[in-house]
Amino acid sequence: MDLDTSKLIDGNRVAESIYEELRAEIAELSGRAPRVVFIRVGEDPASRFYVSKKKKIALSIGAESDIVILPETITEEELIVKVKEFNKDDGTDGILVQAPLPKGISEANVFNSIDPKKDVDGFNVLNSGLLVQEDLESFAPCTPQGILELLKREKIETTGKHVVVIGRSLIVGKPMALLLARKHPQGNATVTICHSRSENLPEITKQADILVSAIGRPATVTADMVKEGAVVIDVGINRVDDPEAKKGYRIVGDVDFEAVVPLVSKITPVPGGVGPMTVATLMQNTLKAYKLRHSR
DSSP 253: -
Can you tell me whether residue 30 is helix, strand or coil? coil
Written as one letter, the residue type at 98 is: Q
Report how far Cα 27 is from the mean position of its chain's Cα atoms: 25
Question: Closer to ligand GUN at the Cβ: 175 or 218?
Answer: 175
Kindly tell me the number of DSSP H helices and DSSP E strands found in the chain.
10, 10
Q: How far is the CB of 283 from ligand GUN (least distance, A)?
A: 13
Q: How far is the CB of 121 from ligand GUN (least distance, A)?
A: 5
Q: How far is the CB of 167 from ligand GUN (least distance, A)?
A: 13
Question: Backbone phi, then psi, for 192, in 5-degree steps?
Answer: -120, 130
Cα(161)–Cα(191) distance, integer angstroms: 8
Question: Closer to ligand GUN at the Cβ: 98 or 205?
Answer: 98
Question: Closer to ligand GUN at the Cβ: 215 or 260?
Answer: 215
Cα(16)–Cα(60) distance, integer angstroms: 11
Q: How far is the CB of 171 from ligand GUN (least distance, A)?
A: 5
Question: Closer to ligand GUN at the Cβ: 193 or 237?
Answer: 237
Render 34-82 in DSSP notation, one character per residue.
PEEEEEEES--HHHHHHHHHHHHHHHHTT-EEEEEEE-TT--HHHHHHH
Question: Backbone phi, then psi, for 151, in 5-degree steps?
Answer: -65, -40
Cα(115)–Cα(93) distance, integer angstroms: 10
Q: Which residues bind ligand GUN (CB under 6 A)?
A: 96-99, 121, 142-143, 171, 278
Question: Closer to ligand GUN at the Cβ: 95 or 201?
Answer: 95
Q: Which residue is nearest to ligand GUN (CB)?
A: 99
Catalytic positions, written as ranges:
54, 98, 121
Q: How far is the CB of 114 from ligand GUN (least distance, A)?
A: 10
Question: Backbone phi, then psi, for 81, in 5-degree steps?
Answer: -60, -45
